[in-house]
Amino acid sequence: MFSFHKTPRLLASTCCGVILASMPILGAAEQTGYYGYGESATDEQIAAWDIDVRPDGMGLPEGSGSVDEGMAVFETHCASCHGAFGEGMGRYPKLAGGDGSLTEDRPEKTVGSYWPYASTLWDYIHRAMPFFAPQSLTDDQVYAVTAYVLNLNYIVEADFVANKETLPQVEMPNHDGFIWEDPRPVVNNERCMEDCKEEVTVSDSAAGKNLTPSTTGPLDEGITE
Amino acid sequence: MLGKLRRLNQDASKIALEESERLPSEERRRFLRSGLFTAGGAMVGGALAGIAPKALASTQFPPEIPPWTRTLGAGVVTDPYGVPSPFEKDVIRRNVPWLTADKVSSISFTPLQHLKGIITPNGLFFERHHAGRPDIDPQQHRLMIHGLVDRPIILSMEDLQRFPSVSQINFIECPANGGMEWRGAQLNSLQFLHGMVSCAEWTGVRLSTLLQEVGIKPEGKWLLAEGADGAAMTRSIPLEKALDDVIVAYAQNGEALRREQGYPIRLVVPGWEGNTHVKWLRRLEVGDKPWMQREETSKYTDLMPDGTAHGFTWVMEAKSVITSPCPEMPLKNKGVCQIEGLAWSGSGKVKAVDVSVDGGQNWQQAQLREPVMSKSLTRFSLEWKWDGNPALLQSRVIDETGYVQPTLAQLKQARGTNSIYHKNAIQTWKVNGDGSVVNVQLS
């Protein structure tokens, strides 16, 4: 690729126009793919769209935000859905608490109890929050809210300042709680055709529970819980 | 030309009017009242919808000659883009209001009880949006491919359609399909229990073609796909899968993708959980590690009873369900009936489907209807003579890997009740003596 850029200049000074005109074709094998459709993406274009952040910190921008700064941003942009302390409002997600609840009957999967990587928090707030105005926060505000939510979960101290150096070092409580390999199938059945069970007992029925919206007529807004 | 058409139209109206004069007086009055004619005698195109319910109200069976046989219908391009008969008004996607906080981040269910064959009509394909459905101008949309590649590129939608295209029929299923039922039987409806699965013919460009075009660097092992919606939805996909059978689709059942399905382009990741089929696709990045995005860590991971969670559980394991009878489609008569259903597997083709009418004590092999394709819905049927006694109907799929669909009790034993996703258990329908059908669970 490097030599491609050099070659035309060299040729431009030494060759005639006829050969020059054929240069894009000569260079095509290197600079473009087989089809050569579309345009090359410039560094500037890529930088503007490449917003993902990885656990190792790759993708985190310059800037920073403290827990205190985050509290102010959170109250303005986040608390109406998530509650002032991340306790969640209605069916909007709870962000804090639930420590040790993953083995309980009703686990609470929050940033503190479940999320394995702090980087995910920055990435997600930046790409998709606030819910009603995604990608409207500045990088500093995203750092600040990230710091605040981590502090709500007692993962960082109140004086924590999030930036591209500190955030990847934050160890999440449930970091080791995941198995990143699919163990399925977890049930291995034989294909039994006859006398496969001794008895059959109905343990539960949906009849009469009144949870099912109507499947005829207009959309059913009636059943709310 | 227009004048001639108008004359023709008037002639037709005149003939129809004359015809109506031959009707018995009462019927003639009804016919004229029905609004098929205006004062000027011109046909009103959309009027057929008006007369139809009235026609149903009074019997039009033999020996009657129904009014639609004795009049002219609506002209061509009355509906320039065709719509279903108004009599099919119940056949729509529906949602469960109590399930989500807001319709913008929610799900709707395909009315499987009404569908025939294996293709889901585009307007009935289930919807799952995380930040609502954007309305994207394809002229303004671009796909960027970059990262560990030799030649990062930006493609317009026109550019994309210049590449060699492929078409393949694949189902898409949300891994939360049936996820409300881990703790017990709640919903009494096929649509709401299993309607987060749909199937279409997808046309687009193989991802392998695009990745070859940009040239993957040797350290490239993973792909990040990102949407252009307000959720900027992202998922990490191993390159092995990306290069296997994934396509960047721009068409669905022969026409451009519906907006709800990612217009102008989406990823189709055959057999894998619906969330990976990123809609409104705007960016593909090649990297050496997964990105651990929100949708693959805090969501779409399966919590086990011991508190650990399984991540990267991409494949939709084999599943089947009887679609007739079902709660919405009760049995109306004793005697011979056709038990019908759908089966599918994210691991390949459906090899066989068995049906039980006694809650899984005994099974009979059902017939598979062609075509049977990999990672596609497959239709099965079994003839059954219903004697009017209560019965417990089940179907059980076996896929080409030999995997046998598990019972709910087995899945709960292995996974507990808090994993939300990947509930591919056998569905039990209880047929009551009156033919009504109820969603039940067996211990």
Paired sense of beta strands B281-287 and B142-147, if any:
parallel
Cα–chain-centroid distance for residue B372? 17
Looking at residue A222, its pLDDT comes to 72
What does chain B come to in residues?
443
Nearest by CB to B94, from A124, A193, A213: name it.
A213
The percentage of residues in chain A with a pLDDT greater than 70, rounded to a whole number, is 85
Contacts of B421 in chain A (CB under 8 A): none
Q: Is the dihedral of CA B79, B82, B88, B89 positive or negative?
A: negative
Contact A39 B130 (CB under 8 A): no
Nearest by CB to B328, from A90, A206, A215: name it.
A215
How many Cβ contacts (< 8 angstroms) between chains A and B? 257
Nearest by CB to B404, from A120, A189, A195: name it.
A189
Given CB atoms, is A48 within the 8 Å cutoff of chain B?
Answer: no
Nearest by CB to A203, from B153, B292, B443: name it.
B443
Contact A107 B442 (CB under 8 A): no
Contact B232 A134 (CB under 8 A): yes
Q: What is the mean pLDDT of residues A66-71?
A: 98
Looking at residue B26, its pLDDT comes to 53
* Start-to-end C-alpha separation, chain B: 73
pLDDT for A1 beyond 70 = no
Contact A202 B392 (CB under 8 A): yes
Positions in chain B whose pLDDT score sits under 70? 1-57
Contact A117 B292 (CB under 8 A): yes
Nearest by CB to B163, from A35, A185, A207: name it.
A35
pLDDT for A22 beyond 90 = no
**Residue in the block written with tokens 């606030």:** A130
Contact A205 B438 (CB under 8 A): yes
Nearest to A100 by CA among A171, A150, A153: A153
pLDDT for A149 beyond 70 = yes
Contact B152 A90 (CB under 8 A): no
Nearest by CB to B231, from A120, A128, A221: name it.
A128
For residue A98, give how far its alpha carbon lies from the nearest alpha carbon of chain B (Å). 12
What tokens does B16 get?
């129809």
Query: Exposed, middle or buried by CB within 10 Å (0-12, 13-18, 19+), for B78?
Result: middle
Looking at residue B25, its pLDDT comes to 54
Given CB atoms, is A119 within the 8 Å cutoff of chain B?
Answer: yes
pLDDT for A153 beyond 60 = yes
Contact B213 A34 (CB under 8 A): yes
Residue A196: closest CA among chain B residues belongs to which residue? Answer: B361
Task: Tell me the whole-structure pTM to 2 decimals.
Answer: 0.87
Given CB atoms, is A16 within the 8 Å cutoff of chain B?
Answer: no
Contacts for B244 with CB less than 8 Å, ≥ 6 apart: B208
Any alpha helices (H) in B222-335, and if so which ranges? 239-242, 294-297
Looking at residue A10, its pLDDT comes to 37
Given CB atoms, is A206 within the 8 Å cutoff of chain B?
Answer: yes
Tell which wins on pLDDT, A52 or B41: A52
CA B398 vs CA A55, B193, B413: distances in Å: 39, 21, 20
CB of A146 closer than 8 Å to CB of A73: no
Given CB atoms, is B166 within the 8 Å cutoff of chain A?
Answer: no
Looking at residue A27, its pLDDT comes to 41
Contact B97 A221 (CB under 8 A): yes
Query: Exposed, middle or buried by CB within 10 Å (0-12, 13-18, 19+), for A192?
Result: middle
CB of B201 closer than 8 Å to CB of B233: no
Contacts of B315 in chain A (CB under 8 A): 182, 184
ipTM of the complex: 0.86
Looking at residue A31, its pLDDT comes to 74
Looking at residue A224, its pLDDT comes to 54
Contacts for B159 with CB less than 8 Å, ≥ 6 apart: A37, A38
Nearest to B364 by CA among A193, A195, A191: A193
- What whole-number distance in Å separates Cα of residue B275 and Cα of residue B374? 19
Contacts of A185 in chain B (CB under 8 A): 317, 403
Contact A197 B359 (CB under 8 A): yes
Contacts of B154 in chain A (CB under 8 A): 38-41, 45
Q: Which residues pair with B198 in a beta bridge?
A: B172
Looking at residue B151, its pLDDT comes to 97
Contact A192 B363 (CB under 8 A): yes
Looking at residue B91, its pLDDT comes to 98
Given CB atoms, is B189 within the 8 Å cutoff of chain A?
Answer: yes
Nearest by CB to B224, from A52, A134, A213: name it.
A52
For residue A58, give how far its alpha carbon lies from the nearest alpha carbon of chain B (Å). 9
Number of Cβ within a 10 Å radius of residue A225: 5
CB of B154 closer than 8 Å to CB of A41: yes
- What whole-number distance in Å separates Cα of residue B327 and Cα of residue B431? 9
Average pLDDT along chain A: 88
